Amino acid sequence: MYSDSNIVHLISILEAIEKCFIYTDGFVDCYEFRWHNDQMNFNACVTLLIAIGEETKNIDEELKNEFPTINWKAIAGMRDKMAHNYRGIDPEITFDIIKESLPELKHTLIQLFSRVSFEATMLLQALKSEHYKHIGYLLSLVK
Distance of alpha carbon 114 from alpha carbon 42, whole angstroms: 33
pLDDT, mean over the chain: 94
| Residue pLDDT, tens place only, 58-108 | 999 999 999 999 999 999 999 999 999 878 899 999 999 999 999 999 999
Name 107's Cβ contacts closer than 8 Å, sequence gap at least 6. Answer: none
Pairwise CA distance, residues 10 & 37, whole Å: 29
Q: Residue 69 and residue 81: Cα distance in Å, rounded? A: 22
pLDDT 10s digits, 129-143: 999 999 999 999 876
Q: Which residues are catalytic?
A: 79, 84
Q: Are 10 and 59 in contact (CB under 8 A)?
A: yes
